[in-house]
Amino acid sequence: MNSRDAFHVYDTTLRDGAQQEGLNLSVADKLAIARQLDGLGVGFIEGGWPGANPKDTEFFARAREELKLQNAQLAAFGATRRAHVKAADDPLVAALRDSGAGVVTLVAKSHDRHVELALRTTLEENLAMVRDTVAHLSAEGQRVFLDAEHFFDGYRDNRDYALEVLRTAFEAGAEVAALCDTNGGMLPGWVSDVVDDVVSSTGGRVGIHCHNDTGCAVANTLAAVDAGATHVQGTLNGYGERTGNADLVSVVANLELKLDRRVLPPGLLREATRIAHAVAEVTNVPPASRQPYVGVSAFAHKAGLHASAIKVDPNLYQHMDPSLVGNDMRLLVSDMAGRASIELKGRELGFELDQDLVKRVTDRVKDMELRGYTFEAADASFELMLAEEVGGARPSYFEVESWRVITDSSPQAEAASEATVKLLAGGARIVVTGEGNGPVNALDHALRQAIQQLYPEIVKFELIDYKVRIVDQGHGTDAITRVLIETSDGQSSWVTVGVGHNVIEASWEALIDGLTFGLRRHGA
């Protein structure tokens, strides 16, 4: 067993996390999140259930070509074979076999009532389903992990049968049996007792998969590790059905920083805050400001006693150094807030900022964030701001005189948009009209037509993602709107941000920044 295999950090954001209400991931979203998770250093990324739905099947097909993982292995999730069907003949088992994933995680019933009422089969046939499926996939060369669904409830009702399901899986070749608190009703002491019994009774490798219905998912996971579990499952930002799953960042941060167990590759825990926020932008679910370790308020202090003490020694009112998870201490009424992160980010982007510039940029960022901007996932807009502060003027390749958009709709036809853009470029006044299937698409077409002859580089640029978020939801239709636009040149991509009361106005700002950044990158 290599050092990375001594303890498993297993992420299920793309499968179990995606079951969160209101969270809908495209295949491109899942690929983007997988790359972020790999950057955190997790050992396993559960990509979904191939064969169960077309999106997950496409994800695994594209992952073989597009995902170049450095730290993680891709895992395919699926169920044991159907009752009274050979594993080799079950099409869903075949989809797992053909997924290209080196690891398969099988969900199996370990609660006797679920076997009889949900599967509508016998306890003996359920054991055969586990045995045949694990043995078949193991013989095909795949590593097999077992998710024992509803294990803790099943253990309470029929301990002997729940343990027999695990023994059957181990004997057939399963490497891990993850005990699932599927209903999320356990407490840490209960989890600890059960895991201790399972470890001593089966002798197999035990994992833990907790839901947060009692608010104890992270605590339950840590209790399981303390009792002998060496495989933890969770989701980034605690995404998941109902109240969510165990937040994997909190789990690994507690293991590494509090319990001194090295479970991630060295140095990658410092990427946690950046990755948690970047994934929140992909999912379009606002990050929780009070999220432990990585929330923007996790190390925020108001003026007064706390702030005064922290200026003397930050440890007086903080349980750890926030930089260990890539976060920052924030003194909310002090000009110290965020300055270090601005300086470091500027250096990363190639700007050496003196202290006057750092303060000016910090103040500007804070002011813009109050008005709804965010630069966490919009590095391109932030880099343009830095270039403006350092050079005295914002990079510009054209001057916009005006723009307008008209959308026509009728009951018999789809709505169509027409945009007119007037601008100055190359010493000439240019007026162009473009059409599109929506107002932003029409503006994009018009702007490209206006400057394409002067800047042929933009032929490579493509708008690949567009997200809208209402910043102050209490104001209804008069609320501030934030738009994030991702643009690609075929080799890389960049994200820009726009904010306004009008969603089209915010989109235009992000669109202009996207093209400006791309032209600057290409040396126009």
- CATH number, domain of 233, equals 3.20.20.70
132 and 48 co-located in one domain: yes
Query: By C-alpha distance, which of 266, 232, 275 is closest to 71?
Result: 266
Q: Which residues pair with 211 in a beta bridge?
A: 245
Look at the block and give the residue holding tokens 């490798």.
205
- What tokens were used for 219? 């605590």
390 and 402 co-located in one domain: no
- The pTM of the whole model exceeds 0.75: no
**What phi and psi, each to the nearest 5 degrees, are found at residue 411?**
-60, -25
Answer whether residue 303 is part of any domain: yes
**What phi and psi, each to the nearest 5 degrees, are found at residue 6?**
-70, -30
Look at the block and give the residue holding tokens 């994934």.
279
C-alpha–C-alpha distance, residues 8 and 25, integer Å: 25
Answer whether residue 291 is part of any domain: no
Residues in the chain: 524
Residue type, 419: A
**What phi and psi, each to the nearest 5 degrees, are found at residue 484?**
-115, 130
Identify the DSSP state of 213. Answer: T
Look at the block and give the residue holding tokens 């169509």.
416
Domain stops at, among 434, 454, 474: 454
Whole domain around residue 242: which residue ranges?
Answer: 3-283
- Using CA atoms of 332, 335, 336, 339 in order, give the dihedral in degrees to the nearest 10: 110
466 and 510 co-located in one domain: yes
Answer whether residue 292 is part of any domain: no
C-alpha–C-alpha distance, residues 274 and 379, integer Å: 12
CB 104 within 8 A of CB 140: no
Answer whether residue 293 is part of any domain: no
Residue type, 289: S
CB 150 within 8 A of CB 178: no
Q: What is the pLDDT of residue 2?
A: 53
CB 329 within 8 A of CB 322: yes
Answer whether residue 513 is part of any domain: yes
CB 317 within 8 A of CB 309: yes
402 and 392 co-located in one domain: no
What is the CATH classification number for the domain harbouring 316?
Answer: 4.10.430.20
Answer whether residue 288 is part of any domain: no
Look at the block and give the residue holding tokens 């099943």.
154
351 and 329 co-located in one domain: no
507 and 388 co-located in one domain: yes
Q: Which residues pair with 369 in a beta bridge?
A: none
Answer whether residue 359 is part of any domain: yes
C-alpha–C-alpha distance, residues 500 and 20, integer Å: 29
Residue type, 371: R
What is the CATH classification number for the domain harbouring 518?
Answer: 3.30.160.340
Tell me which residues of the chain have a pLDDT lower than 50: 1, 303-308, 332-337
The number of domains in the chain is 4
261 and 385 co-located in one domain: no
Alpha helices in 332-490 (DSSP H): 339-348, 355-370, 379-391, 439-451
How many beta carbons lie within 10 A of that of residue 262, not counting itself?
13
Q: If DSSP codes are grouped into helix, strand and coil, which group holds residue 42?
A: coil
**What phi and psi, each to the nearest 5 degrees, are found at residue 183?**
-85, -5
- What tokens were used for 187? 């407490």
Query: Across the chain, which distance is largest between two alpha carbons, in Å?
Result: 83
112 and 180 co-located in one domain: yes
Answer whether residue 289 is part of any domain: no
449 and 358 co-located in one domain: no
C-alpha–C-alpha distance, residues 435 and 465, integer Å: 19
Q: What is the pLDDT of residue 182?
A: 95
237 and 252 co-located in one domain: yes
440 and 313 co-located in one domain: no
How many beta carbons lie within 10 A of that of residue 523, not counting itself?
6
Measured distance between the N- and C-terminal CA atoms of the chain, rounded to whole angstroms: 53
447 and 469 co-located in one domain: no
Residue type, 521: R
